[in-house]
Amino acid sequence: MGWSSGGIATLWATRPRATPRDGMPDFRSAVVFYPGCRRAGEAAWSARLPTLIMIGTADDWTPMTACEQMVADARGRSARATLITYPGAYHEFDRPNYPLRMLSGLAYTADGSGRAHVGTNAAARTDALKRVPQWLMR
């Protein structure tokens, strides 16, 4: 599992070229929250194992559209990704009791301004808390 930058690392770890070579068991599945998908999409990302990606439609830090494009492009390369989008949810939608706020001074944002919103989205958080254990138990 990975969130934001950790989600990016998780995406890279699920690629076919990242298969373990030490004879040890591989991951069975992966869960990624609001990753930045632009570079992975540009690198023709695909997943070798079931990968659940969850992101808000209002995320202005790591935009959902880049993840949609990455997953759509990967379909032809046998990607095993499922993208769940949450209407109106921003970055950190799953963080408990975190009021909506604007961050500034960020190195990367969708519009290049260095500003992005973060905050809990109750409906998205509730769905994610239900969906993740179901995904991992498959």
- Interval 53-88: pLDDT, tens: 999 999 999 999 999 999 998 887 766 899 999 999
Q: What's the pTM?
A: 0.92
* Contacts made by residues 22-30, CB under 8 angstroms, sequence distance 24+: 29/135, 29/136, 29/138, 30/1, 30/2
Q: Which domains does the chain have, with CATH numbers?
A: 2-15+28-136 (3.40.50.1820)
Q: Model confidence at 99, in pLDDT bands (50, 70, 90)?
A: very high
- Interval 7-30: pLDDT, tens: 999 999 988 877 777 777 788 999
Q: Which backbone phi and psi does 107 adopt, to 5 degrees?
A: -70, -35
Residue type, 122: A
